Structure 1
């Protein structure tokens, strides 16, 4: 360590010299923050059970940008997207299908639940999510195009 520099605490949050808060925020980050702040009651209720690794020790994030879309809830480790659909999704079924295709092509699995299901049967929704997390995460095929054969 150089003797002419005063002892300084390590940077906050590992953000390099000076640490502290970033001043730059992308539009996606701002939009994600707005979506989190404007969460519907079913989203808030489900989040209470998903946050802080409460569901089987799995880490979830909410309103995460994936390409041009925002996942309501995402477990990155298992590439599982959980979407809640309200009445507005009744008229957006084609858009939801395109979104699901976009995510699936990129290796994500998508679970969709109606807001009413979360409000009336939260335990059933959580059980469905937990069962999906117990399924193996899809792996890309090997470069040679042939899978490993087990004896």
Structure 2
């Protein structure tokens, strides 16, 4: 593990973040995710100087087609702004996932207008 991976793992391991279980170096063929929360379909990737935008973009597109959400952080941000990184992960987890088949007539939406 890099220093950044170690530091982030110390905050994600043992279900410390809202009781959610994260896995480290989790295989999602043909890739291996730095960290992932299967229950939330969330991958957290740490990028150092070896990462290229083209390679990362192709990887992200593929993983998103498999139903995963991806958050990327620079190693330096994890090392120097750990709390901000944890907060960004927390904020992403707290967002409800949109329903894949929303009701066409808006049932369930909080709508203050009254329908005729």
Question: TM-score w.r.t. structure 2 length?
Answer: 0.86
Structure 1 residue ranges without an equivalent (≥5): 1-38
RMSD: 1.3
Q: What whole-Å deviation, never above 9, does each CA across 1:94-147 have from its counterpart, x for those lacking one? A: 1110000001111111000000000000000000000000112355x34xxxx3
Structure 2 residue ranges without an equivalent (≥5): 109-116
What SS does the corresponding residue of 2:50 show, helix, strand or coil?
A: helix
Q: Which has the higher strand share?
A: 2
Runs of 4+ in 1 over 6 A off after TM superposition: none
Between structure 1 and structure 2, the one with the greater Rg is 1
Distance between the aligned counterparts of 1:48 and 1:117, measured in 2? 15
Distance between the aligned counterparts of 1:130 and 1:87, measured in 2? 25
| Higher RCO structure (Cα 8 Å, ≥6 apart) | 2
Question: TM-score w.r.t. structure 1 length?
Answer: 0.67
CA shift in 2, pair 1:138/1:81, >3 Å? farther
